[in-house]
A and B are shown apart, each in its own frame.
Chain A
Amino acid sequence: MRSRYPNRGSGLEYYLWIFTRLSGILMLFMAAFGIVYANLAGGRTLLDMAAQYRWGFFPTYWHVQNSDIPDVFPNWSNSFWQIYAVLLFFVAAVHGFNGLRVVVEDYVHRPYLLLFAKWLVFVLFLFTLFAAAVIVFELFV
């Protein structure tokens, strides 16, 4: 269980350890809020279970478009949910890619390979954030 406890020597490592815990709670609450909202906005009768989970994960209108909702635009597709989805994804991406960095540090020991792997993780992180923002705000040309 080495990776569970923070290395007190480095401030950043400690803050990332705290962030992993707090963002975990935050993501649970954000998903719960999204699902509660979806049910109050008529999803109780219109959404099946899978659509509710998809919406909780990433509240974008195409995650509920194939359900029985006749018009997604008033309640399910507005700038509130776009910003909410990007914030949720950003928190989840920092949490997830930081976890990947911890796993990489556990199994990669050669210094240059570790440096390369950590940069690869960082570039993937940035590209995933970019892709998610483009998808949510529909910035395709």
Chain B
Amino acid sequence: MYRGRHVGYLEGLRYKGQENMLAWVLHRITGLGILILVGTHVIAAFFLNAIGDNISTTITTIYESKPMQVFVYFCVLYHALNGLRLIVEDLWPPLLRYHRELLWFQWLVFLPVFGLPAALMIVSLWSGGA
């Protein structure tokens, strides 16, 4: 409801929501990312099999490229971990006492689980892999 508060975009960027707002923004961006990527992938696969047009082929080629796979992996892993933390906090509210610890623990899990496969994918891209 940014319009109700009459806050401009630049002022919004300076908002001191810190790690909570980062989690909210990333949850929203990664959720929309999954929806757009998987949605276009399924619809492109449908039209590719039904008609075999050029647009579907292009979308499929983009979707199968390594940088896009890294981005999809980022979206899915962050959305899954953050969603799991949200579910745990929503369904067992006493755990909200440890909200900040849970957020840090979530980053502690996310960084290696995302970083190692992503690094391997990027290295294989540099060494001439598809």
Contact = CB atoms under 8 A, between A and B. Distances in A.
Interface of A: 1-2, 4, 21, 24-25, 28, 49-50, 53, 57, 89, 92, 96-97, 99-100, 103, 106, 109, 124, 127-128, 131-132, 134-135, 140
Contact of A140 (B3, B39, B43, B49): B49
Interface of B: 1, 3, 20, 24, 28, 31-32, 34-35, 38-39, 42-43, 45-46, 49-50, 69, 73, 76, 80, 83-84, 86-87, 90-91, 117
Contact of B43 (A50, A53, A128): A128
Contacts, number: 60
Contacts of B91: 21
A100 B36 CA distance: 10
B35 A97 contact: yes
A124 B84 contact: no
A132 B50 CA distance: 12
B6 to A, nearest CB: 14
A9 B117 CA distance: 45
Given A2-B1, A96-B34, A106-B1, A131 B46 contact: yes
Contacts of B31: 96, 99, 103
A135 B1 contact: no
Contacts of A2: 1
Contacts of B69: 50
Nearest to A132: B42
SS class of chain A's interface: helix, strand, loop or mixed? helix
Contacts of B38: 57, 92, 96
B103 to A, nearest CB: 13
A132 B86 CA distance: 29
Contact of B42 (A99, A100, A109, A128): A128
16 contacts: A2-B1, A21-B90, A24-B84, A25-B87, A28-B84, A53-B76, A89-B42, A92-B38, A96-B34, A96-B35, A97-B35, A106-B1, A131-B42, A131-B43, A132-B46, A140-B49
